[in-house]
Amino acid sequence: MKRTMKRVIAKSFVFAAACVAAGDIHLPKPVTQGGKSLMQALSERRSARDFAGRDIPVQTLSSLLWAATGVNRADGRRTAPTGLNVQDTDVYVMLASGVYRYDTGQNALKLVNPGDHRAAAGKQPFAQTAPVNLFYVHDRSRGMKADESNTQRYAGIHAGAIMQNVYLFCAKEGLATVARANIDYDACAKALRLAAGQSIVLGQSVGYPPNDGYIGRQAAIRTALERAKFHESEVGRLKCELDREDGVMVYDVEFKKNGFEYEYHIDAKTGTVVKAKKERD
Ligand SMILES: Cc1cc2nc3c(=O)[nH]c(=O)nc-3n(C[C@H](O)[C@H](O)[C@H](O)COP(=O)(O)O)c2cc1C
């Protein structure tokens, strides 16, 4: 397998429905060190309801999910606490490419429903276009067993702990987010293909804030094709994703033509071509 392809599989998964073949997503190792101080993140924590159209890089998504409720100890305990460590709440992730369940043990997104189901994400329009919607889903079979009211109360608390972890990660990462209870729960449960005993406690939309100065995916593709002197209709397997390379955000544009594979890195802010590569396919 070519180095370029290995790289694509390992770290360059694009979420846009147009670019992704639906399947499980194996997440890269989350980054669990560094970032803003806790007090700074708390100072910056807030709800925001406007999102740029661009996707969240898979590395950032991996760290976000780990912050939400990832395993942080050898015995399988998590970043978010649960009463008696019942771990009764799953995080479902709705992207343009499909609905997935975050598998904390495997650090993977398990595909549960391919396709763009964001119309069912919530009643507020921003939820239907946000690049990432998280849903905190309670599984009664794993919940606190004492009595029904206890089960419900704990389910809410458990989702709340995850929600605040996500808020703090977003504050640290410069992402916009808002918790959401304003959901058509039946429609959304269908999109999430929930079984009996599973229920959505809360949703949370996540994305980049608008006007972040990035040129956008279409402009990056245009720049790469201009550099190669091809028209979009002439190339195959066109992919474009936002990625971080040596600390700089770039659009990684790839396509194939006449037995060659082309790869361009376009600086996400300036639109400059910072890398151009052509190799036999
Ligand atoms: C449980 C819960 C449910 C919420 N549901 C919604 C919602 O459906 N739609 C929305 O726009 N904001 C929702 N919010 C966000 C609140 O409106 C927001 O947290 C509140 O106005 C305080 O603003 P702040 O988060 O910036 O401090 C929800 C917040 C919580 C904690």
- What would the pLDDT profile of 69-82 be if each residue is shown by its tens digit? 999 999 999 999 99
Structure tokens at 276: 């151009």
Rounded to whole angstroms, the Cα distance separating 108 from 191 reads 19
With 0-12 / 13-18 / 19 or more C-beta atoms within 10 angstroms meaning exposed / middle / buried, residue 211 is exposed
Angle at 182 between CA 180 and CA 185, to 5 degrees: 105
Higher pLDDT, 98 or 215: 98
Q: Which of 128, 134, 178 to mutate to test the pocket of ligand 1 (most atoms within 8 A of CB)?
A: 178
Residue 163 alpha carbon, nearest atom of ligand 1: 31
Residue 3 confidence (pLDDT) above 70: no
112 neighbors 102 (Cβ within 8 angstroms):
no
22-26, 85-89, 273-277: least confident range: 22-26
In this predicted structure, what is the pLDDT of residue 5? 41
| Element at 67 (helix H, strand E) | helix 58-69
Higher pLDDT, 11 or 93: 93
Confidence class for position 162, pLDDT limits 50, 70, 90: very high
Confidence class for position 148, pLDDT limits 50, 70, 90: confident
Query: Span 110-118, mean pLDDT?
Result: 96
126 neighbors 118 (Cβ within 8 angstroms):
no
Q: How far apart, in Å, are the Cα atoms of 90 and each of 105, 148, 174?
A: 12, 19, 25
List 267's β-bridge partners, or say none. Answer: 250
For 165-192, how does the pLDDT look when each residue is reduced to its tens digit (9 = 90+)? 999 999 999 999 999 999 999 999 999 9
List 249's β-bridge partners, or say none. Answer: 244
pTM to 2 decimals? 0.75
Residue 65 confidence (pLDDT) above 50: yes
With 0-12 / 13-18 / 19 or more C-beta atoms within 10 angstroms meaning exposed / middle / buried, residue 250 is buried
Q: Is the CB of 43 under 6 A from ligand 1?
A: no
Its CATH architecture, for the domain 38-207, is 3-Layer(aba) Sandwich (3.40)
Confidence class for position 248, pLDDT limits 50, 70, 90: confident
Q: Is the CB of 179 under 6 A from ligand 1?
A: yes
Q: Is the CB of 47 under 6 A from ligand 1?
A: yes
| Element at 96 (helix H, strand E) | none
Topology of 217-280 in CATH? Answer: Nuclear Transport Factor 2; Chain: A, (3.10.450)
Per the prediction, the chain carries an average pLDDT of 89
65 neighbors 57 (Cβ within 8 angstroms):
no
Measuring CA to CA, which residue among 210, 213, 211, 192 is closest to residue 201?
A: 192
Q: Name, in order, each residue with C-beta under 8 angstroms of 38's C-beta and a sequence gap of 6 or more.
A: 168
55 neighbors 12 (Cβ within 8 angstroms):
no
The residue ranges of every structural domain in the chain are 38-207, 217-280
Q: Cα(45) to centroid of ligand 1, in Å?
A: 12
Residue 61 confidence (pLDDT) above 50: yes
Question: In this structure, which residue's CA is closest to atom 11 in ligand 1?
Answer: 180
Q: Name, in order, each residue with C-beta under 8 angstroms of 173's C-beta and a sequence gap of 6 or more.
A: 35, 60, 63, 64
Q: Cα(273) to centroid of ligand 1, in Å?
A: 41
Question: In this structure, which residue's CA is closest to atom 22 in ligand 1?
Answer: 47
Residue 182 alpha carbon, nearest atom of ligand 1: 8
